[in-house]
Amino acid sequence: MSAVVRPRARSGLWPALGFTLLALAISLLAYVLAGLGKRGHVPVTVGLYGSIFAVGYLAAWLAIRRLAPGADPALFPTAAVLVGLGFAVIFRLSGGLAAEQATWIALGLAAFCATLFLVRDHRQLDAYTYTIGLAGLVLLLLPIVPGIGREINGARLWVRVGPVGFQPSELGKVLIAVFLASYLAEKRELLRVATRTLGPLRLPPARHLMPVLLAWGASLAILFLQRDLGASLLYFGVFVVMLWVAAGRFAYLAVGGLLFSLGAWLGYRAFEHVQLRVDVWLHALDPDKVFAQGYGQLAQAWFGMATGGLVGTGLGRGSPGLIPFAATDFIFAAIGEELGLLGTAAVLLLYVTLVGKALRTALACPDAFGRLLATGLATTVALQTFVIVGGITRVIPLTGVTLPFVSYGGSSLVSNFVLLALLVRIDAGPAPPDAWRPGRRT
């Protein structure tokens, strides 16, 4: 172990406020700039949205200060900058979407504060291993239920009850990470034992490999029943990484990789839309195919990013409206067009910072459950970012997932804020006993 985590000084008030104010300044500047670039004047909604950002960010800062005073000062602000940048791009694309996104940001920040308030010590989640696991599973499978499940863009991901539609799998992924951390922290001693060797790999007993096969089966079920490539990849990836970290055995990563390849091949053989994705990936700019159904998206995204060049056309001054799904899956390309290579590199660096801080939290956490949970949550953000950014830049075939904190979408934003609150909680340790006790009247 060369990396050593030093105990942090507890008096980090001003750095945290400084980072929060800087995040607020970036968010507001990006938003005003988007209005200036698009319409030539400061947006008329500046008072409304400006105050949502100001009140929300400062409320979150205050909640961290009171409920999680030991937390990293830049953990929340890093996510806040991503949210602000995403909002500016969404506002630039459509005022209507921006109004919805502002509501979701307010709700997400409220969920962030509520999570910090309710989860006063992350170890209290460790007591409900199977309840949380079951809840997560139900949320994942909810869209399959006939009557309330809806199929949108070829994937069965949505649940609609009356006028309210949401993607339960987004919250499900957080609950599944909590469940896995709790389960694996308990079983890690068993998983660590290796009894047999297979070539260069030392394998644990077969029955301890069962959970891997089970998770693989569940991911395939998601793939086949909901036709959601991105989520399937995400769950399985997070599971394998957490198992690997819990057990400290490379064999799990290798077996996981093999199973993943097998699953990917099965998916490719079984589904036409998977074959199409692979073909688009290989021939995105092929002049013979670019006008065919399904091929234009990536080409538009690439032309958008190429137009942006090094510093971009400036917020509001490009034409990212040509990119399909520019506010959700392809928002990275829209950022590339209007803020250029420097803007997209900044976004990636923000994720590196966020994930780095989360892994540092894992390293410093004294209990196994917290370590695994922080690792799992960090992997969720990292893998999701990789899947969508890799898809847009054609490193891997494109699968539609949201860019965490940046993309338009309520379920995704609120769940990611809950995820962030858990990271802040693990980083800070238990809440001070006198801070805003629930149920105490004054």
Partner 1 sequence: MPPFALSALKYALLALLYLFIYRAVRSVAAGIAPRPSPTAPSGAPAAKRPPRRRPPTTLVVHVPDGSRPRTVRLTGPLEIGRAETCQVRLDDAYASLHHARLQHRDGAWVIEDLGSTNGTYVNDRRIAAPVEVHAGDVVRIGKTVLELRR
Interface residue with partner 1 among 23, 109, 174, 401 (CB under 8 A) is: 23
Please state whether beta strands 155-161 and 149-152 pair in parallel, antiparallel, or not at all (unpaired): antiparallel
Residue 152 within binding range of partner 1, rule CB under 8 A:
no
Question: Given the structure tokens 């959700």, which residue do they identify?
Answer: 328
The number of angstroms, rounded, from the C-alpha of 150 to the middle of its chain's C-alpha atoms is 22
Residue 123 within binding range of partner 1, rule CB under 8 A:
no
Residue 25 within binding range of partner 1, rule CB under 8 A:
yes
Residue 299 within binding range of partner 1, rule CB under 8 A:
no
Lay out the site mask for partner 1 across 29-68 (x = CB under 8 A, - = otherwise). xx--x--xx--xx---------------------------
Residue 343 within binding range of partner 1, rule CB under 8 A:
yes
* Interacting positions 71-100 with partner 1 (CB under 8 A): 72-74, 77-78, 81, 85
Residue 19 within binding range of partner 1, rule CB under 8 A:
yes
How many angstroms separate the CA atoms of 320 and 89, rounded? 9
Residue 433 within binding range of partner 1, rule CB under 8 A:
no
DSSP states of 128-158 = GHHHHHHHHHHHHHGGGSTTTEEEETTEEEE
Torsion of CA 432, 12, 178, 187, to 10 degrees: -90
Interface residue with partner 1 among 366, 433, 438, 439 (CB under 8 A) is: 366
Residue nearer to partner 1 on the CB measure, 25 or 134: 25
DSSP states of 341-393 = HHHHHHHHHHHHHHHHHHHHHHHH-SSHHHHHHHHHHHHHHHHHHHHHHHHHT
Question: Given the structure tokens 């209990």, which residue do they identify?
Answer: 367
Residue 315 within binding range of partner 1, rule CB under 8 A:
yes
How many angstroms separate the CA atoms of 71 and 64, rounded? 7
Residue 276 within binding range of partner 1, rule CB under 8 A:
no
Residue 342 within binding range of partner 1, rule CB under 8 A:
yes
Phi-psi region of 294 (alpha: psi -120 to 50; beta: other; left: phi over 0): left
Give the bridge partners for 158, in sequence order. Answer: 150
Residue nearer to partner 1 on the CB measure, 72 or 228: 72
Residue 275 within binding range of partner 1, rule CB under 8 A:
no
Tell me the longest C-alpha to C-alpha distance in the chain. 72
Residue 318 within binding range of partner 1, rule CB under 8 A:
no
Residue 22 within binding range of partner 1, rule CB under 8 A:
yes
Residue 10 within binding range of partner 1, rule CB under 8 A:
yes
Please give the size of the binding site for partner 1, defined by CB under 8 A.
53
Residue 8 within binding range of partner 1, rule CB under 8 A:
yes
Least spacing, CB of residue 357 vs partner 1, in Å: 6
CB-count exposure of residue 137 (10 Å: 0-12, 13-18, 19+):
middle
Residues that bind partner 1 (CB under 8 A): 1, 3-10, 15, 19, 22-23, 25-26, 29-30, 33, 36-37, 40-41, 70, 72-74, 77-78, 81, 85, 311-312, 314-315, 317, 339, 342-343, 346, 349-350, 352-353, 356-357, 360, 363-367, 428-429
